[in-house]
Amino acid sequence: MWPQVGRRGPSREAQKAPALWRLLFHVLSPRPADDAAALPAPEAQARLVKSALRSQGYPRPALVQLPEDGSQGSRELLLALSWLLARGPLLERLLAQIRVRLGDEMPVCECEVLASPGPPAPRVEADGCVDIRHLQWLMGKLRFGWRNLITSQQEHCALLGKVHSYTRGCHSDRSLGHLSVTEAELLRDPEGGRQLLRRLESENARLEAALEWRRRELVFWQWMDTVLDACPPEASQPTFLPRIPERGAGELELVARELQALQEELQAVVETRRAAWEARVGGWGPGWKATQRASEEAVRQELTALQRAWERGGGLAQPHGPHRLVRSEAGTLGGPGLRATEVIKALRSQEACLEAALRQLQGQCRQELARLVGALPGFIWILPPGC
């Protein structure tokens, strides 16, 4: 549908509305929609589109009031689409999502994996209460699953390594040097290879259309300006969609609790230390004021740097996104590309941080439990060894 957007003229027949609802749904889905029966009904799609646009802050209330059956509203939908296009690199992002992957890719971070969680399993909501042992069992199952995952991953890497080393020197692209599994697969299976080629060619067509769109984009925005001007002025107050209970609020609460706990800890530590310090320094003369100010300045700078790490736009110090695996004997390929050793280093430090955080949390729990249990007379808390 994308190449048509650029060619779409100012015609606004009512038939455009359902197509636009569908388009917006696909654009806004958190997961690239697989063509399947998983697609919800058109009315449901429209509702989800409305909700998604609202949650992203779409400013015009007219959208909310549109009927969901697609009988009207193509102009408003077109405005919504343009709004999404104007805000960010929507086109490029979508193209990247459905990109044909020719290499063996490994993500070096976990963002993408979490962002596309896969089709939600049909969940039968058990309204009943569960025994905590069921939770323990689920937890054990999860651990087992992770163990399996790691073993499978090891095997996969071994196989990849073999394929890469057996096809050394085969690739026409010197910087790659060897075939990937996808490429070897296309050699092994001609039918699959033909399909891959077709997909590649259609992607090339899409990319060319996107580049063409870029060249003509200005005209589109000028036209959208006129469309916006032609809209009747809005007068009504925006109506709110009913609140959908969601874990978003829970996330906020969790973080709030953590910050609260952190602040209290810091407060306790600071009070004692400050008191101790004042006691020591009380008799000191004004001579050390200069050094005091220097320290303050240094600390201020350090903390500002720390704050930058999480602020909006804070530098992505870590490698990001999927990378194509290329096997090269150490030192031969001096070309561009991330080195595995660097990634390993970064991951190890991340691992250490997370382990420390987890241990700290577990310790907190232990303390809390001991406190709760210990408050009762006559009971002893016995821990298994190693805790």
Partner 1 sequence: MLPAGCSRRLLAELRDALDACAERQRQLERSLRVSRRLLRVWEPAETPALEPTPGPDTNEEARPPARTPSPQDLKELELLTQALEKAVRVRKGLSKAGGRDEAPSRKSRSIVSPATTASVPPRASGQAGRRASETKPPRGVRQTTVPAKGLPELRLLSVGDQTCKARGAQAAKPEPGLRDQQMAPSAAPQAPEAFTLKQKGILLRLPMAFRKAASQNSRLWAQLSSTETGDSMDATTTAKTQFLRKMQSGWPSSRLCAAEVEAEVGRLRKACSLLRQRMGEELTADPVDWMQEYHCLLTLEGLQAIAGQCLHRLQELRAAVMEHQLAPWPEGRLPSAPSSCGGGADSIWSPQLLLYSSTQELQTLASLRLRVAMLDEQIHLEKVLMAELLPLVSTQEPLGPPWLALCRAVHSLLCEGAFRLARRAGRDCRAGLAERGAGGSLRGTEALPAVQGGEGLRTRRGHPPGRGSACFVPLPNSSIFPAGLESPRGIIGAQ
List binders of partner 1 among 58-97 (CB under 8 A).
59-61, 79, 82-83, 85-89, 92-93, 95-96
Site for partner 1 (CB under 8 A): which residue of 14, 69, 148, 289?
A: 148
Site for partner 1 (CB under 8 A): which residue of 43, 111, 212, 289?
A: 111
The smaller minimum CB distance to partner 1, of residues 19 and 224, is found at 224
**Residue 293 engages partner 1 in binding (rule: CB under 8 A):** no
- Number of residues counted as binding partner 1 (CB under 8 A): 233
The smaller minimum CB distance to partner 1, of residues 13 and 317, is found at 317
Site for partner 1 (CB under 8 A): which residue of 5, 39, 81, 181?
A: 181
Q: From residue 156, how far is each of 31, 104, 148, 161, 299 by CA, in Å?
A: 25, 11, 12, 9, 47
314-336 burial, b at 16+ Cβ within 10 Å, e below that, comes to eeeeeeeebbebbbbeeeebeee
**Residue 287 engages partner 1 in binding (rule: CB under 8 A):** no
Q: Using CB under 8 A as the criterion, what x/- string covers residues 296-315 for binding partner 1?
A: x-xxx-xx--xx-xxxxxxx
Q: From residue 116, how far is each of 44, 124, 302, 321 by CA, in Å?
A: 21, 22, 36, 13
The smaller minimum CB distance to partner 1, of residues 69 and 253, is found at 253
Structural contact between residues 108 and 320, judged by C-beta atoms closer than 8 angstroms: yes
Rounded to an integer, what distance in angstroms lies between the CA atom of residue 116 and that of residue 32?
8
**Residue 98 engages partner 1 in binding (rule: CB under 8 A):** no
Least separation in angstroms between residue 321's CB and partner 1 is 6
Q: Which residues contact 309 (CB under 8 A, 6 or more apart)?
A: 315
Residues 152-171 that bind partner 1 (CB under 8 A): 152-163, 166-171
**Residue 374 engages partner 1 in binding (rule: CB under 8 A):** yes
Site for partner 1 (CB under 8 A): which residue of 118, 232, 282, 286?
A: 118
The smaller minimum CB distance to partner 1, of residues 15 and 40, is found at 40
Q: Counting Cβ atoms within 10 Å, is residue 206 exposed (0-12), middle (13-18) or buried (19+)?
A: middle
DSSP helix/strand/coil, 178 = strand
Residues 10-49 that bind partner 1 (CB under 8 A): 28-30, 48
Q: Which residues contact 381 (CB under 8 A, 6 or more apart)?
A: 369, 370, 373, 374
The smaller minimum CB distance to partner 1, of residues 15 and 144, is found at 144
The smaller minimum CB distance to partner 1, of residues 13 and 121, is found at 121
What's the angle, vertex CA 192, arms to CA 186 and CA 196, rounded to 5? 75
Determine the interface stretch with partner 1 among 3-11, 13-21, 64-72, 190-198 (rule: CB under 8 A).
Answer: 190-198
- Which residues is 168 bridged to in the sheet? 178
Q: From residue 137, how far is each of 11, 285, 385 by CA, in Å?
A: 60, 65, 21
Q: Using CB under 8 A as the criterion, what x/- string covers residues 316-355 for binding partner 1?
A: x-x-xxxxxxxxxxxx-x-xxxxxxx-xx--xx-xx-xxx
The smaller minimum CB distance to partner 1, of residues 10 and 128, is found at 128
Q: Which two tokens stand for residue 34?
A: 């697989």
Q: At what angle do helices 90-97 and 190-230 cross, to 10 degrees?
A: 160
Rg (CA), the chain: 29
How many CB atoms neighbour CB 203 within 10 A?
14
**Residue 217 engages partner 1 in binding (rule: CB under 8 A):** yes
Q: Which residues contact 351 (CB under 8 A, 6 or more apart)?
A: none
Least separation in angstroms between residue 2's CB and partner 1 is 13
The smaller minimum CB distance to partner 1, of residues 68 and 105, is found at 105
**Residue 232 engages partner 1 in binding (rule: CB under 8 A):** no
The smaller minimum CB distance to partner 1, of residues 1 and 298, is found at 298
**Residue 6 engages partner 1 in binding (rule: CB under 8 A):** no
Site for partner 1 (CB under 8 A): which residue of 32, 72, 274, 289?
A: 274
Least separation in angstroms between residue 316's CB and partner 1 is 4
**Residue 113 engages partner 1 in binding (rule: CB under 8 A):** yes
**Residue 3 engages partner 1 in binding (rule: CB under 8 A):** no
Of 59, 61, 29, nearest in space to 44 by CA? 29
